[in-house]
Every structure is written in structure tokens, then in C-alpha cells.
Amino acid sequence: MATDLALVNFYVNKPLLEKGGVKIEDLATWQGFLDAIPKLKAAGVTPVVTAGGDKWPVQHWLLYLMLREGGPDIMNRVRSEGFAIPEFIKAANDLIELGKLEPFQDGWLNEAWLPSIGKFGDGAGAIYLAGNWSIQQQADNAKDGKGIAPDDLVLIPFPAGFAANADGGTGTVGGITGWAVTKGAPKEAVEFLTYLASVDAQKATAEAGLGIPSAIGVEQYITEPKLQWVVKTIGAASAHQLFADRFLGPAAGGAYNDVAVALAAGQITAEEAAATLQDAWDNR
């Protein structure tokens, strides 16, 4: 039973973007985003901060590119048809091409998640691809404990504008948190979970701005503007894809994270990535 949701999207430090002569709307398309990278670098701004050391933050890039190239059913397709399908190869090559532009901060391959989001909060980069937990964590892990000022931190969708654009550019990546009980669980356990998933139980979480509760109707109690944007974006999505490392399971999911980093670092080809993932999936 689901209790809350999460959305992965671009977090943008608007003043740094403007320093590089880049507008928010320039990031609406993949080509616009790619074109922004050299502009930001020329202005002395690191375009993107990420955490290659922990790996899972980089998987979001590959998964979004898969959605954009292959549409909202792409993850089911690779599980049934294999990872060597053209749409995966295109997405993998997209990530390789991004890596060639060297958009990430120095040392990104060894960077852990919390230090990286702290650096973003310190203003060490213009863009971070992450979930809505980052709104608070970029502040908590910044040196001053405040991070990017609320008016300077802008949330926007992952770029669209791909040739195939099979999902209309609205497919989203995120998480779903929930609870489960065993088949023989007492009825009181089921009743308790039913209560946890209700509007009455989730209202307090929504009012406190602690997350995105899953109960239909609770969105009216979310008052934090950035979380309101998250709710609307998920609601308008053609599909909300669960994190790849969770969707594929521990063995294949771990391989997926490894492959995403290797692609971004230019260490493997798209075809090698597909073969590695296929082997991990077949032998999970």
C-alpha cells in the first residue's frame, strides 16, 4: 500500500544559470541543455553536480533518457525484449555524448551523495538532477546550513525535444514508498495500513511539507510551492517510472547503476552497456 511519492527533476541555481547567459527555458529541450553546458563552463560555472561515487544519482540520467527515447513502457520492454533494442542504444549514446562535454564537477566519479548535494547548496554548480528530498538536503548539507535561497532554487522537468519523443516529454522518474503485510497478517494490520493511506492520516504530512502523500485528495493540504509543483508534474505525467535499480531488482539494478556511471564517464559503449545489463538480468 503506497503512502508517499517522489519526483526526480532538474534543480537549478538560477543566478548561476544567468551568469552563463542561459535562460530557464533554454533547458526545456535536450539540445538546449547540451548547448548550455559550454556557455556555463565559459563563464566559470560548473554546469552539473552529481555523485558518481554513490552511483545511484547517475542512474536518473540514463533512465530519463530511456523514457525520452523509448516512451513510458521502455522499462517493461527491455525486460521482455532485451536491452539491445534501438531505444536503449540511443539513450546510452545520449549519455555518452553528455559525458564528452564534461559537464560534471571535478572528482564527480568519487563524490558521495550528501557531499555532492552540499556542494550544490554551496553554489558549486548550476544544475542537479535529483528528487524532491533535495529541497531540504541541499540546505542541510551546505556549509552555511541554508543553501540556495528559495527564490533562487528553481524546479523544472527533465528536458524533452528528442527526435522520437515517444512519451511527449512528460514521462517522469521517481519513487513510491509503501508498506506490505504477509498473506496471513491479522485484519488489524490491514486496517492500520488502510488508515495510513487515508487522507486523514496523511494530511499532517502534507501540511508540514514533509513529502508527497499518495492519498487522492490530500494534495489540497500541500502549501509549499515547490512541492505543489511536484504534485502537479506527477499528475500530468504520461507515466511515473520507478527508479531503475528498484524496478530491476538488486542484481540487475546494481548493474544498471554501474553501467550509468560507466556510460557518463565514457568507459563503455552503448552496446557493451546493453550486453552487461542483459547478462545481469538473465542471471539475476
For residue 59, give the nearest of 239, 264, 251 by alpha carbon. 264
Give the separation between CA 244 and CA 185, rounded to whole angstroms. Answer: 30
What nine digits make up the cell of 200?
Answer: 486523514
| H-assigned helices in 43-147 | 56-70, 74-81, 86-100, 113-121, 134-140
Residue 127, pLDDT score = 98
By the 8 A CB rule, do 274 and 252 touch?
no
Residue pair 164/70 in contact (Cβ under 8 Å)? The answer is: yes
pLDDT in the model for residue 165: 55
From CA 45, how far away is CA 103, in angstroms rounded?
A: 10
pLDDT for the residue 126: 98
Q: What is the pLDDT of residue 163?
A: 64
Per-residue pLDDT of the chain (284 residues; tens, 9 = 90+): 777 889 999 999 999 999 999 999 999 999 999 999 999 999 999 999 999 999 999 999 999 999 999 998 999 999 999 999 999 999 999 999 999 999 999 999 999 999 999 999 999 999 999 999 999 999 999 999 999 999 999 999 999 977 655 556 789 999 988 888 898 899 899 899 888 888 888 888 788 877 788 888 888 888 889 999 999 999 889 889 999 999 999 999 999 999 999 999 999 999 999 999 999 999 99
Is residue 193 within 8 Å of 181, Cβ to Cβ?
yes
Candidate CATH numbers 3.30.2320.20, 3.40.190.10, 3.40.50.720, 3.40.30.10; the one for domain 2-174+241-282 = 3.40.190.10
Determine the angle formed by the axes of helices 270-282 and 86-100, rounding to 10 degrees.
130
Provide the residue ranges of all domains of the chain, joining segments of one domain with +. 2-174+241-282
